[in-house]
């Protein structure tokens, strides 16, 4: 079975975002691996300001889904560019779960595209960009199965 995990890139606030996501999902992360933890390479010296940036972290949401992330470091040719080309869709089992996730993740949201409400394809649906620039969709299909 193939598993799909969402990998999120940040420009320096990955740790802050994942501590927030820990609270939202009531799950602990696997730990923060930092660029400074990597073996040094004289051909690619790591500046002091990059050493504490997160090179990898993750949160297991359940047995088949993980939320993963890292900071981008421009010195390595990386830059996180925010946009609406990717969303993380959370397909919930109950309306209560959809409501709770929407309430928690949309705190200080940058943009609410669709507030949580009934749609022709779902009993509850919302789409928004959280305070860290990550785009989310919350979905509870309920009695709208096609």
Domains of the chain, start order: 6-76 (3.30.720.100), 88-144 (3.30.720.110)
pLDDT of residue 84: 61
Q: Is the pLDDT of residue 85 over 70?
A: no
| pLDDT tens track for 21-75 | 999 999 999 999 999 998 888 887 888 888 999 999 999 999 889 999 999 877 6
* CA–CA dist 38, 46 (Å, integer): 10
């Amino acid at each position: 079975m193939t598993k799909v995990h969402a990998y999120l890139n940040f420009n320096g606030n990955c740790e802050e975002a994942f501590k927030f996501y820990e609270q939202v999902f009531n799950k602990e992360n696997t730990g923060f691996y930092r660029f400074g933890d990597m073996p040094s390479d004289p051909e690619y010296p790591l500046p002091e300001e990059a050493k504490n940036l997160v090179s990898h972290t993750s949160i297991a949401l359940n047995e088949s889904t993980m939320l993963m992330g890292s900071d981008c470091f421009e010195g390595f040719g990386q830059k996180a560019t925010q946009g609406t080309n990717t969303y993380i869709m959370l397909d919930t089992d109950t309306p209560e779960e959809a409501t709770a996730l929407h309430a928690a993740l949309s705190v200080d949201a940058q943009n609410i595209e669709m507030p949580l409400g009934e749609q022709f394809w779902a009993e509850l649906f919302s789409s928004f960009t959280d305070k860290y620039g990550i785009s989310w969709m919350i979905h509870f299909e309920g009695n709208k199965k096609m």
